[in-house]
Amino acid sequence: MQESLAAQYLKDSLSSFRAYKKLADKGIAQLKDQEFFTTLDGEDNSVAVIMKHIAGNMISRWTDFLTADGEKPNRNRDSEFVIEPHTTKEDVLAYWEKGWQCLFSALDPLTPQDMERTVLIRGEKHTVVQAINRQMMHYAYHIGQIVFLAKHFRSTEWTSLSIPKNRSAEFNAYLSQAPREADREKQFDAVTDFVKAQKNAKDH
């Protein structure tokens, strides 16, 4: 892989992971404590469970990323889908942050030369690029679930994290008034800023 392309891929990957974390955090912040642990039915996962699973996966996959199999022997995946009694929201949030810190600590030091190295996940060989893409797809999938649940629970009190219904033309006009430099990490911020601007205009 050409070094300039590899460097750009690494930069974009880091920005994308940070953007997805920011999106999840904005949804989580809108939840009431009781909603954090609530499931829609007996087969569904709560936001807390999804966060615990993501964090557990991150700690397993990104610890010793280049030198050890991403499925660590001490990982108990099944336990990630169980919330123990007396677990608090703060407990889950702390574990969530630990998982993301593990990811960024592994990804930040990577160099373009690392992109063609081989790592293992459950004994299966992946290039570093494949391993990063695999995890990004996994986390995006679950973060979508978090946002869906948060929006469901907040209902009419939900502060939109995506372009509100029937507001696409207004959003495009808003963007044209203040063009932004492409930055994957901030890709969801424009919508949040738009919603706030619309609300402020309505209030005044």
pTM for this prediction: 0.85
Report the alpha-carbon angle 129-133-135, nearest 5.
120
Which domain, by its residues, includes 192? Answer: 159-204
pLDDT in tens, the chain (204 residues): 566 999 999 999 999 999 999 999 999 999 999 999 999 998 899 999 999 999 999 999 999 999 999 999 999 999 999 999 999 999 999 999 999 999 999 999 999 999 989 999 999 999 999 999 999 999 999 999 999 999 999 998 998 887 777 677 777 777 677 666 666 666 666 666 666 666 666 665
In a shared domain, residues 15 and 97: yes
Q: What is the CATH number of the domain that holds 15?
A: 1.20.120.450
In a shared domain, residues 167 and 90: no
In a shared domain, residues 129 and 180: no
In a shared domain, residues 164 and 105: no
Provide the number of structural domains found in the chain: 2
In a shared domain, residues 46 and 74: yes
CB 80 within 8 A of CB 124: no
Query: What is residue 204's predicted lDDT score, i.e. its pLDDT?
Result: 58
In a shared domain, residues 114 and 49: yes
Query: What is residue 90's predicted lDDT score, i.e. its pLDDT?
Result: 96
In a shared domain, residues 99 and 163: no
Long-range CB contact pairs, 35-44, < 8 A, 24+? 35/150, 35/153, 35/154, 36/89, 36/92, 37/83, 37/89, 38/153, 40/149, 40/152
Phi, psi of 127 (to 5 degrees): -70, 160
Which domain-ending residue is among 138, 158, 178?
Answer: 158
For the chain, the helix, strand and coil percentages under 3-state DSSP, each to the nearest 5: 65, 5, 30
In a shared domain, residues 79 and 173: no
